[in-house]
A and B are shown apart, each in its own frame.
Chain A
Amino acid sequence: MNVITDNLDLFFQGFAKTLGICIICMIGSLILGTLVAACRISPVAPLRGVGSLYVNFVRNCPLTVVLFFIAFGLPEIGINQSYYVFGCTALIIYTAAFVCEALRSGINAIPTGQAEAARAIGLTFGQNLREVVLPQAFRTAIPPVGSVIIAMFKNSAILGAFGVGGDLLGNAILLTSSRGQDPTAVYLGIGFFFLMITIPAGLLLQFLERKAAILR
């Protein structure tokens, strides 16, 4: 087990990089997911169509396919970015579809009377979303959105195989292959550091859930 203590610097460095990816992608996918959810419930038919198309297309593609498409497809048509940018973009696009659906489940849980009442007092669609529907929807949707985000943290490991180096998985490959360390110990260590991200996230989620629960 001393492979972990001997290489703590590599593990911590990987942990920092993975955590960075997780935070960027969490923020990005929450924003994009909310926008898509807004499209899907809007009164404008073309917007609804675009939203549904996006969700159904992305949600039914494996993450690796989305990553391949972006990391190897875009350079073919002359779009060059760092693999870090490509990787995060793919993860955001992929996760946003799931965030959108989790949010929509929250929106659907809001009684129709709420939106009707808001329209009745003369709020526009935008105001209706901002002031009445979304605040309640977010609170209701915390558990499903939280699950999606935790799944995304774990999905972020795959970026290590798409040219993003120095993350937890990339450093695990370095240790097992070129430095001849025992894979069992290394991957147990990697698992532990992933838990260091996902368990606190789960606890935070529970706390938010309790805090934001709508008393009905």
Chain B
Amino acid sequence: MRTARIAAVVAAGVLALTACGGGSDSDDGDTGAAAVNSDATFEAGTTMETLQKAGKITIGTKFDQPGFGEENLSGIPEGFDVEIGKILAAGMGISADNIKWVETPSAVRENVIEDGDVDLVAATYTINDERKERISFAGPYYVAGQQIMVRNDDSTITGPDSFKENADLKVCSVAGSTPADNIGEYLANKSQLVTFDLYSKCADALRTKQVDAVTTDNVILLGLVGDSDGAFKMVGDTFTEEPYGIGLKKGDTAFCEYIVDTLKKASEDGSYEKAWTETAGKVEGAQTPTLPTADACA
């Protein structure tokens, strides 16, 4: 009798675990800001033509980044990156419900592109030279900037230079992120940087006075400040430029050109702005961006 009960509990647990898988097919008919372009024509042999023929696309994004790519209760990611992905798919005649979303945490982004597991990656992906050695970027489609968040009653920290002046101050960021790498040069010593796997843990550490500041891209901090009931505030100006790009297979210039053109059209017809205001732009204090000038495709 007892073993039967235990077995039932174990089985339920296993079921619950298998229910939260990785990728998920989008099943909401909402195409967001993008209108599906069903009569687009592409040169034979290009990535666009292949995808258009297949009628479906696989896109990698973050599932834990509020405002950019965050999984909702039905397992579908929502956010600015997701909307950009939908716009790019729509330009090839692929509707939102034919997009397969795959979770791509920072550590695996280059690998999934190289292996062809995804067709493109839109995942708060900062363009940098080290990454360009393995993949190509199209864009930028957005330029974030790194900023600093402190407790509301704190007046000692005014910007990134405060950490050099007072070596006792600690700052938190996410392990392996570009902001964590960037803040390094503003510190008097390495032990001032505390890293976790999630920003929520950094916010918790700030609240319990384990660290004195949290630093990352301003858009993410805005979300944290918004959720903190006035416990946190932002200080100083942005001190870096983080251009977010779309990751794709190294050297696929035709696809890169297509992405750049599609984004340009989206910015002209207002769907780029709409993608922003419906997602990351909802946070108080967020400024609606204009599409940055694209880098040359190489």
Instruction: Please list the residues of chain A having a beta carbon within 8 angstroms of any beta carbon in chain B.
Output: 72, 75-76, 80, 82-84, 160-163, 165-166, 170, 173-183
Contacts and interface: CB of A to CB of B under 8 A. Distances in A.
A80 B107 contact: no
B216 to A, nearest CB: 12
Nearest to B194: A163
Nearest to B181: A178
Nearest to A179: B130
B131 A163 contact: no
B170 to A, nearest CB: 8
Given A83-B194, A183-B107, A72 B204 contact: yes
B166 to A, nearest CB: 16
B176 A176 contact: yes
Given A165-B175, A174-B181, A180 B110 contact: yes
A167 to B, nearest CB: 11
A189 B152 CA distance: 43
Interface of B: 105-111, 128, 130-131, 133-135, 172, 175-178, 180-181, 190-191, 193-197, 201, 204-205, 208-210
A175 B130 CA distance: 10
B176 A180 contact: no
Given A72-B204, A181-B130, 8 more contacts: A163-B172, A163-B205, A163-B210, A165-B194, A166-B190, A174-B181, A177-B105, A177-B107
B177 A180 contact: no
A174 B175 CA distance: 6
A19 to B, nearest CB: 17
B208 A75 contact: yes
Contact of A180 (B109, B180, B191, B193): B109
A161 B197 contact: yes
A177 B106 contact: yes
Contacts of A181: 130
Contacts of B109: 180
Q: Which 3 A-B pairs have the closest CB atoms?
A: A177-B176, A75-B208, A177-B106
A32 B273 CA distance: 61
A76 B193 contact: no
Given A163-B195, A165-B175, A174-B176, A75 B181 contact: no
Contacts of A76: 208
Q: Which of A160, A174, A178 has the most CB of B within 10 A?
A: A178
A54 B208 CA distance: 27
A205 B143 CA distance: 55
Contacts of A162: 196
A176 B107 contact: yes
B13 to A, nearest CB: 15
B195 A178 contact: no
Contacts of A177: 105-107, 175-177
A83 B193 CA distance: 11
B106 A163 contact: no
A165 B193 contact: yes
Contacts of B177: 177-178
A83 B210 contact: yes
B113 to A, nearest CB: 10
B195 A165 contact: yes
16 contacts: A72-B201, A72-B204, A80-B208, A82-B191, A161-B196, A161-B197, A162-B196, A165-B175, A165-B195, A175-B176, A176-B106, A177-B176, A178-B176, A179-B131, A180-B110, A180-B128
B209 A178 contact: no
Contacts of B190: 165-166
A161 B209 CA distance: 19
Given A75-B209, A166-B190, A170-B175, A183 B108 contact: yes
Nearest to B182: A178
B182 to A, nearest CB: 9
Nearest to B170: A82
Q: Which of B105, B107, B193 has the most CB of A within 10 A?
A: B107
A7 B197 CA distance: 22
Nearest to A177: B176
Nearest to B210: A75
Given A75-B210, A163-B195, A173 B175 contact: yes
